[in-house]
Chain A
Amino acid sequence: MRRSLAFRDEPVFQILLTLFLLTVLIAISLPIWRVFIMSVTPLGYVDRSFGIWIPPWLWSFEAYKQLFNHPAFIKAAMNSGIITIGGLAISMVLTVPLAYVLSSKNLPGRKLLVTIIMVPFLFSAGLIPTYIVIQRLGLVDSLFAIMLPGAVSVWNTLIMKGFFEGLPEDLKEAAYMDGATELQVLWHVILPLSKPILLTISLFYAVSLWNEFFTPILYLNDNDLQPLPVLLRNILMAANINEYLEYDAFSNAPIQAFRAASVFITMLPMVIVYPWIQKYFTKGTLLGAVKE
């Protein structure tokens, strides 16, 4: 595949590079590991310093168990799933054409279009003005209130536009010569070449939708609609407030364990989906193979 990747070609460079990446790996994974240890710390484990190690036989998965067993957990996870998948579909259907149109250099009115999308990017209307619109549209207490307002991210659109612009112009020209319409060019020529960027942008959208907690708190009153981050937030924030409670349910693990466990629960879908996406990130020769 990629040429001259062999180690023997540039041993010094590769060794230095590996050392660099190893440093990054350790610098990042050590605190993450610490968060994991935090999540399995059993009650009654006295640890007053940077505890990086608890013997595995002492690990307690009580925090995970209790979070998973929360009566609203499954419903909340499903709501999050609907929001993520539905929102992602809406976002991509709107973003891809927009980015593609913006990337057409000779299109009359293109600058006007860029201006139209840049103005709301720079000037955020703010909480209240947005809320009033959503409320007037009757979207309060609907999952669309979570999926629609942020459906197009200007950031993501411009990144995608940049990628489309980088694609060789002659490919498109060839298709036009064959009598293809713009729509056909986008579908049959551009999109197949753009898998890395499509996946990247999808990932951005999906992750932000999956983690969304603020708009659901604002727009959803019905408890049956609340997504996972709201549930987790309520559980964790409540620990600050429930000092008056006689209630015993969340006392089988330290509160820090609940917090840490909630992080790993939130990461879970990403960890599952990522290897599948990564396959496409390594196909570096995709473009070259098509181009002559």
Chain B
Amino acid sequence: MKKTLGKISLLVIVLALVLSACVTAEETPEAPAPTAVPPTAVPEKPAEPTAVPEPTEVVIEPAELELWFSGRVSEAAPPPDDWVAYQIIKDELKIDLKLVMLPSSASDMDTKINTAAASNTLPDIFFANRDAWYNLVQAGLVAQVDDLLPLMPERTKTHYSNPARNALVTVDGAMYGLPDPGQIPCTDALVVRTDWLEKLDMEPPTNLDEFMEVAKAMTFNDPDGNGKNDTYGYCAFIDGTGLTNMGLSPRFNWIYGAYGVTGVWNLASPEEFGLNARNPRYMEATQFIANMVKEGVIDPDWPTLKKDDYRAGWKQGKCGMQMENFAALSTKSNYKAFDENFPEGQWDVLKAPAGPYGDVSAGTIINTARIYAVSQKAIDEGKGPAIARLLEWMATDGYMLLAFGQEGVNYTLDEKGYVSTEGIDPAFAWNTAEMQPLTQLANMVYIFSDIELQARYPSYKTINGRTMEPLKYLAGFTDQPWTEATGSGMINPPANAADFTRFYSENIVNFVLGQQELNEETWAAFLEGLDGLGAKELEATAKEALLAANYWD
């Protein structure tokens, strides 16, 4: 056996030697002087003639650009080959655009971008999640974009003028990504089945005690009257696992909010900054959730449910109260299943209940960005101006075309200037399934203006003729106290992120499920464990980063 082992190791060594000879030989001509590119960012602006805006007409140089984007409707096809926009981009902008639609699952997307990055073959411009983007910046693969902003004045005004968002992509004082508006804030909040409340003859709860009473009644008093004990007062699932969503995830944020400690981080001021878990109130809030579990008012599958199964639950009439996304709850296609199942059912906004100390918060507001990164390679190849040209066009002349298609073909404008589909061939309406490929790039142009919201979330009638207004839910959600926590999106993961987040989340869940006793002693041990994994160091570096980004100014 020793012989075999020896042989194997010998073979590996020999092969490695042979291979090293081959690969070095093959590498020299192919890699275009990798040492010429500095691995870290260059602090000074490189002297680029086109970067200085001149009053004289700049000659447009034709360019080829490859763009990896996340489609607006990732299950539909990308824009067709004869898409009008391609021609316009080619004729007017002199850009030969190659589009690649990224996979819809976030992890598939990260993997695809990371592998391309590892082989140094990133496209010219691409969409990236923040963590992935941050790592690419560290690796020196993503270019600084401050010089591009003056080349696209209009887009900078509409997209890149929000200091909080810009801070998300700022590293050492320079911007390394284009922070497009990420999502509408306050989209997820509490809702309640008002038809059940009526049947049970109860009022919407205003504090946690009342909440528990209603939850019990909805669980045990057969609110749907089907004679079976198959309903729950509260439904949730563990949504998200990253550093910003550790613990039980945002679906329980309003409970922590009722104790004044919503979100993972306390971002109130530099002095108070740190993990909310260090606040004893955080333990009390966790205790309250543990009680909900003990009382059986929460769907027992919650720790293992995936988003789909969770949503199937409320659509099948299992849930009395939940924290849900307004669009996932109320837009026509999402509401359809529930409407068919329970035409009498009705969800209404439930204002976040107050806690024992009088605190109220519906959750955290985290200003997010859809980050488009420009690869260092593209800048080195002089493609910067072309990229700026394309993006500027998208935000100006190309905006309506990319967001809604061609006027008169895919949409019309009504007298108030809102997007409408009246008077056009319904088969070509911008919001039909067949026309989805035409607006795949919409995520790159959306700014969440009133026109967009009205067009995207129109009102409609339910089976019973009730009017559903998705934007009314959104307004009701927004009109509550929220806790600003954008800073938590700027905290970069530590080297042992996987172990740290696991330790944090696993312990909280086990406390809540009663698999681990919850008292002051065990809680102290939990905090000690976190410190053992570098919580203090993480807090210190995070604070530094936030101060550097002028987060509290």
Contact = CB atoms under 8 A, between A and B. Distances in A.
Contacts of B436: 247, 249
Question: Which of B68, B114, B115, B183 gathers most chain A CB within 10 Å?
Answer: B115
Contacts of B340: 43-44
Contacts of A230: 103
B154 to A, nearest CB: 25
A219 B118 CA distance: 13
Contact of B316 (A46, A112, A238, A251): A46
Given A47-B316, A218-B115, A240-B308, A247 B7 contact: no
Contacts of A115: 4, 7-8, 11
Interface string B182-219: 01000000000000000000000000000000000000
A116 interface: yes
Interface stretch (A91-99, A127-135, A270-278): A127-135
Interface residues of B, number: 57
Nearest to A220: B100
A54 interface: no
Contacts of B183: 244
A128 B337 CA distance: 43
A104 B366 CA distance: 66
A213 B12 CA distance: 31
A47 B311 CA distance: 14
A234 B327 contact: no
A71 B317 contact: no
B103 A234 contact: yes
A29 interface: no
Contact of A255 (B115, B119, B312, B341): B312
B502 interface: no
Question: Which of B74, B75, B312, B433 gathers most chain A CB within 10 Å?
Answer: B75
B50 interface: no
Contacts of A217: 103, 108, 111-112
Contacts of B456: 244, 246
B312 A254 contact: yes
A248 interface: yes
B308 A244 contact: no
Interface string B70-92: 00111111100000000000000
Interface string B105-128: 100100110110011010000000
A71 B77 contact: yes
Contacts of B100: 221-223
A162 B152 CA distance: 67
A147 B30 CA distance: 25
B543 interface: no
Given A115-B11, A119-B12, A237 B318 contact: no
Contacts of A132: 118-119
B383 interface: no
Contacts of B12: 119
A237 B108 CA distance: 10
B331 interface: yes
B325 interface: yes
Contact of A218 (B111, B325, B333, B336): B111
A234 to B, nearest CB: 5
Interface residues of A, number: 52
B189 to A, nearest CB: 14
Contact of B11 (A119, A223, A240, A247): A119
Contacts of B516: none
A72 interface: yes
Given A127-B111, A234-B104, A254-B337, A246 B73 contact: no
Contact of A237 (B7, B73, B74): B74
Nearest to A256: B312
A52 interface: no
Contact of A251 (B308, B318, B333, B342): B333
B332 interface: yes
Given A115-B8, A218-B111, A255-B312, A248 B332 contact: yes
A183 interface: no
Contacts of A118: 8
B365 to A, nearest CB: 17
Contacts of A140: 121
Contact of A243 (B75, B312, B327): B327
A135 B112 CA distance: 13
A246 B460 CA distance: 11
Nearest to A253: B337
B85 to A, nearest CB: 16
Given A119-B12, A234-B104, A250 B77 contact: no
Given A115-B4, A234-B74, A247-B73, A44 B325 contact: no
Contacts of A71: 77
A243 B114 CA distance: 26
Nearest to A259: B308
A76 to B, nearest CB: 10
Interface in B332-347: 332-334, 336-337, 340-342
A182 B230 CA distance: 70
B426 interface: no
Interface in B408-457: 431-433, 436, 456-457
B308 A239 contact: yes
B168 interface: no
A71 B8 CA distance: 51
A41 to B, nearest CB: 10
B458 interface: yes
B341 A246 contact: no
Interface in B295-335: 307-308, 311-312, 315-318, 325, 327-328, 331-334
Interface string B453-470: 000111000000000000
A248 B434 CA distance: 10
Interface in B57-76: 68, 72-76
A128 to B, nearest CB: 5
Given A47-B316, A223-B78, A245 B327 contact: yes
A128 B115 CA distance: 6
Contact of A241 (B26, B74, B101): B74
Contact of A247 (B118, B121, B311, B433): B433
Contacts of B73: 238, 242, 245, 247
Given A234-B104, A246-B458, 12 more contacts: A111-B4, A115-B7, A127-B111, A132-B119, A217-B103, A233-B103, A238-B74, A243-B334, A246-B332, A249-B333, A255-B312, A256-B308
11 contacts: A49-B230, A111-B7, A116-B11, A131-B118, A223-B77, A234-B74, A246-B458, A248-B332, A249-B436, A251-B333, A251-B336
> A-B pairs with the 8 shortest C-beta distances?
A44-B340, A249-B433, A251-B333, A243-B328, A238-B75, A235-B75, A237-B105, A221-B100
